Amino acid sequence: MSLSEGTSSTKDLFDTISADRYAQKHSSYFEVYDRYLDKFRGKRPTVVEIGVQHGGSLLIWERFFDGDVDIVGLDILADCRKFAGGNVRIFIGDQSDPAFLDDVIAAVGQADIIIDDGSHIPYHQIKTFEVLFYKLLKDGGVYICEDCHTSYWPRYGGGLRKKGTFIEYAKRLCDQQNAWSSESRNLVVDAATRSIKSIAFYYSIVVFEKAAVEEPQLVEAGSAKLDLESAFKASGLARLILPLKRSATVQRLVRTNPVLWRLMRRFLNANQG
């Protein structure tokens, strides 16, 4: 993707981290950062990063936004306090502790960008998302949960398609995005439906964009329409076939049964001019 003119990519900045700091990233992450964070340049965003550790990524965000940024770092290690100063605040606590997260929210107010690079434990990622996405992230903001490959690692409580991992949780949120059109009692409109604008899956990263989402409406334009029943009307059995064609039960059977679908196609081919 193209960045703002005259600016550095996150990979460029990663490569210049000084010897007194350290950071470790998967090579595919940088394109994701650039894609979603570039739009915040020049707007003095508030960036909240869960997982400070050696402090290297704090430098990336500081330099990416050319100092025009407020950075909040969360970590369980008290030694990370040494990275505080200037436009960087550090809070020490456990990301799986809702009380700690509520204290952070009370102190910070709202954030434009949240990056979860913390414990990488799936249930921690879920708990953190459920608090910070809804309570801390602004509409128009971006939530990045990275190192989601741990959802597949048994030593982190993960496994392929295992319930309770962040990847499976994020998949379910895709369902919630589409709850407006659900005909199931088990899928109803909720806070996720009304606030998740988009979900994007990359290698080991899930990105959420937040917005006030309203129920989509079906809109129309123009006036000339094809007669979608012309082939049925052309049949000598029109009086029998048209009521069946208009039956919701018959429509469902035809759509879900490949044999009936092929028979319907043959009928149309035989009766279309």
Q: Name residue, tokens 């700690």.
A: 100
Q: Strand, coil or helix: what is 84?
A: coil
Nearest residue to 205 via CA among 71, 114, 75: 114
Reported as type and span, the H/E element at residue 90 is strand 88-92
The verdict on whether 120 is a catalytic residue reads yes
The active-site residue out of 26, 120, 124, 149 is 120
Q: Amino acid identity of 160?
A: L
In angstroms, the CA 75 to CA 118 distance is: 7
Torsion of CA 243, 248, 253, 255, to 10 degrees: 110
95's CB contacts (< 8 A; 6+ apart) are: 50, 74, 76, 101, 116, 118, 119, 124, 127, 128
| Catalytically annotated residues | 120
